[in-house]
Chain A
Amino acid sequence: MLAVALTVTAVLLQLTVLPLLHLPGAVPNVVTVTVIAIGLCAGSVRGAIVGFLAGMLIDLAPPSIATLGITALVLVLAGFAAGLFGQDPDRPLFLICGFSSLTCAFTVLAGTLVAGIVGDPHVTWSRVPGILVSELIYGALLAVAIVPLVTWLWVRVAPPTGRKP
């Protein structure tokens, strides 16, 4: 299935390829933007399911040692929100970029809050502002590339009948 293939690719990119390029700021969050793109194409239910799978993969894949399930929780919300935002061919790209940027920042805030509430020992509040800024920027930049690509693939590969709110 296309969504699963895209998710796995995004997770591998995120954990294995991108960190070793040493780009400025936090590592670009390809997975969140991919979940958003799939949510935009496939609707809330499938967006949330894909978000859950992607989050579990991030939480389980090495080298993760942080609390299991936090990324899954925030990406469920991201996929769900993207589904509500929905797909509209007439919508300008900058709106999608803005949405992606804000959602990426929201996932970081929500994840940090949940981790802080449940007492995850890894939470480092002093790193949050820096990560937030780079999420806002990379979230918008990545959306320019990923959302059109996923939409194009989705129209090509997935059956067009399955578009639901």
Chain B
Amino acid sequence: MWESRRLRTIIGLLVLTSLTLIVLSLKGGGATVRTGAQGAIGPVQNAVASVTRPIRDFFTGLGSIGSKDQTIADLRQKNDELQGQLSTNQYAQNRAKELDDLLKIASAGNYKLVPAQVVSVGPDQGFAWTVTIDAGSIDGLKVDQDVITGQGLVGRVVRVTKSDATVELLVDATSTVGARVERSMSIGFLNGTGEARSMEFQLLDPFAEIRSGDRLVSFGVRGGIYVPGLPLGTITQISGTPGQLTRVATVVPFVDVNSLDLVGVIVDPPRTNPRDALLPSAAPSAAASSQPSTGSQSSTGSDAVTPDASSAPSPSS
């Protein structure tokens, strides 16, 4: 009797507390608690991530298993060792490649980058696309800085503690970034849908011409959140006809969020807009036509949408 009453009281209290927290959190509370929790748990996650790296290497390089013969047990052991070395090598090569890509994009865009490692990923059950990286305020990170890989824009920093930062990914359902079609220069908004491989691009001008296969770069203004010219993704499907009020295109992002590992945070954005110079050159004709357009565009007009390009020569000189 006493037992069941105590049971009901405790369960009721726990459920009520949870519900109260949900309501408080929806009203915007909990930010300071989260920052505190990140400061406490983040370093532990960093440590766990670096300690478990060999296990990850093992899993990514999990290969063949030897025969069951007893006499070649030592050979098998040797084989396993070599296999381990091989997978580690493979992993080191992948990381070197990732760093190489990052350095390339950083030098092409004149960024100052801080490299960082993904140490934890938000649970699928919560639907939010967020990761924690092992760089924080001591590395110069601030809220709203851009996070990239060699492929393109990944997301932005939403919370920073001393040694960690939480990054909201581009594909998160609440994420929006201004985007520009590489070919036609028309602009719109690229919204995350919560799906890993599909985003929505909304054109501002309903008559603007877009095609499947068009590539998008970020459209940032100076002082805004996103650095201009970062590769975003490729249009795969267009719904709606020209002139229709809401024309939406489906976009596959360049960055595969499911295999994020090494990322870079832009701590110092470039002074000039690199336009689409960061996009991988798809066809020789497209690359050739985009080269002169970066120079001519700033002089010929479209001043309303490219404030950084038109204002760049006058105040700096």
Interface residues of A (CB under 8 A from B): 12, 14-17, 19-22, 26-27, 29, 44-45, 48-49, 51-52, 55-56, 58-73, 76-77, 80, 107-108, 111-112, 114-115, 118-124, 126-127, 131, 135, 164-165
Q: From DSSP, what is the main secondary structure of chain A's interface residues?
A: helix
Q: Contacts A62-B164, A65-B166, A164-B3 known; A71 to B48 CB distance under 8 Å?
A: no
Instruction: Indicate if the CB atoms of A69 and B25 lie closer than 8 Å.
Output: yes
Instruction: Indicate if the CB atoms of A17 and B55 lie closer than 8 Å.
Output: yes
Instruction: Indicate if the CB atoms of A72 and B128 lie closer than 8 Å.
Output: no
Q: From DSSP, what is the main secondary structure of chain B's interface residues?
A: helix
In this complex, how many residues of chain B approach chain A with their Cβ under 8 Å: the count is 62
B259 on the interface (CB 8 Å rule)? yes
Instruction: Indicate if the CB atoms of A66 and B122 lie closer than 8 Å.
Output: yes
B272 on the interface (CB 8 Å rule)? no
Complex interface: chain A residues within 8 A of B151 (CB): none
Which stretch from B15-23, B276-284, B292-300, B303-311 is at the chain A interface?
A: B15-23
Complex interface: chain B residues within 8 A of A26 (CB): 124-125
B86 on the interface (CB 8 Å rule)? no
Complex interface: chain A residues within 8 A of B166 (CB): 62-63, 65
B80 to nearest A CB, angstroms? 19
- List the B residue with the shortest CB-CB distance to A128: B127
Complex interface: chain A residues within 8 A of B56 (CB): 17, 20-21
Give 18 CB contacts A-B under 8 Å: A12-B44, A19-B120, A21-B60, A22-B259, A26-B124, A44-B11, A48-B10, A49-B10, A62-B38, A62-B120, A64-B126, A65-B122, A66-B126, A67-B26, A72-B17, A72-B21, A164-B3, A165-B3
B253 to nearest A CB, angstroms? 15
Cβ 8 A contact of B123, one of A14, A21, A22, A123: A14
Instruction: Indicate if the CB atoms of B48 and A61 lie closer than 8 Å.
Output: no
B14 on the interface (CB 8 Å rule)? yes
Complex interface: chain B residues within 8 A of A48 (CB): 10-11, 14
Kindly list 5 other residue pairs between chains A and B, CB separation below 8 angstroms, not including A70-B18, A71-B125, A120-B127: A12-B44, A16-B49, A21-B60, A66-B128, A69-B24
Instruction: Indicate if the CB atoms of B259 and A107 lie closer than 8 Å.
Output: no
Complex interface: chain A residues within 8 A of B19 (CB): 69, 73
